C-alpha cells in the first residue's frame, strides 16, 4: 500500500492521496486501508517512517569525533532527500512538515544528533552552556527550514547540503567546524 501511496503522490501531488484512490491503486477496499494503516495522516506517517528506516540503514558513522558524525549524518539525510525528492517536494506542505511521525528521517536525525552532541559535551569538545537537547532542537529547526526552502524551490541538493553544514557549523561554533561562508555556495 505504501508503494501505491508513493506512486499517487509522485503522479498527482499530496492531494492525489485519498483513501479511495489508494485503495483502487493497491487493489484493496477502502476499509482494508483504514484497517491496515489508518487514515490519510497515518498513511503519510507510514511513508515518512519508511524514509526513516532507509535513513537508519544508510547511517553508518565510524568516526570518533561526534561533530564529524553529525556532519556525516547530514550528508546521509541530504542524500535521502535527493533520492526521494519527488515525494518530499510533493508532501512538504505545512500539514506534513510538522507531522508527528517519530520514526521519520528528520526525527531520527534529531535523535542521532542530540546523542552526538551529548557525546561531544562530555569530554569538553563542545561547550556545555547549552544542553544537548536544546542544541538538537535548534539543529532540527535549522534542518526543517532548509528542507522547506529546498522543497519549495527548484534548487539542487548541493545547495541544501551546503546550507545544512553551514548552519550546523554556526550552531555548534567549534573551531574545527567553523566554515568560511565564502567557500559555501548558498545560492539556489
User: What confidence score (pLDDT) does residue 3 get?
Assistant: 94
Element holding 24 (H helix, E strand): helix 19-26
Burial degree of 188 (CB within 10 A; 0-12, 13-18, 19+):
exposed
Cα–Cα distance between 34 and 2 in angstroms, integer? 13
Question: pLDDT digits over 106-150, tens only?
Answer: 889 999 999 999 988 887 777 767 888 999 999 999 998 888 888
Question: pLDDT digits over 61-116, tens only?
Answer: 767 889 889 999 999 999 998 888 888 888 876 455 556 677 788 889 999 999 99
Cα–Cα distance between 89 and 152 in angstroms, integer? 7
Question: pLDDT digits over 3-18, tens only?
Answer: 999 999 999 988 899 9
Query: How many other CB atoms sit within 10 Å of the CB of residue 75?
Result: 16
Amino acid at each position: 500500500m505504501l508503494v501505491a501511496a508513493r506512486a499517487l503522490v509522485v503522479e498527482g501531488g499530496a492531494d492525489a492521496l485519498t483513501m479511495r484512490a489508494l485503495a483502487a491503486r493497491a487493489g484493496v477496499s477502502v476499509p482494508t486501508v483504514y484497517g491496515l494503516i489508518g487514515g490519510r495522516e497515518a498513511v503519510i506517517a507510514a511513508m515518512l517512517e519508511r524514509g526513516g528506516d532507509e535513513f537508519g540503514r544508510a547511517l553508518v558513522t565510524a568516526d570518533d569525533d561526534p561533530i564529524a558524525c553529525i556532519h556525516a549524518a547530514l550528508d546521509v539525510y541530504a542524500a535521502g532527500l535527493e533520492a526521494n525528492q519527488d515525494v518530499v517536494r510533493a508532501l512538504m506542505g505545512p500539514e506534513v512538515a510538522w507531522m508527528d511521525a517519530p520514526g521519520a528521517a528528520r526525527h531520527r536525525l534529531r535523535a542521532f544528533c542530540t546523542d552526538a552532541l551529548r557525546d561531544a559535551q562530555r569530554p569538553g569538545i563542545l561547550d556545555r552552556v547549552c544542553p544537548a537537547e536544546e542544541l538538537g532542537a535548534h539543529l532540527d529547526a535549522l534542518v526543517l527550514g532548509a528542507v522547506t526552502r529546498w522543497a519549495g524551490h527548484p534548487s539542487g541538493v548541493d545547495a541544501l547540503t551546503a546550507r545544512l553544514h553551514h548552519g550546523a557549523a554556526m550552531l555548534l561554533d567549534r573551531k574545527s567546524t567553523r566554515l568560511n561562508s565564502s567557500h559555501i555556495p548558498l545560492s539556489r
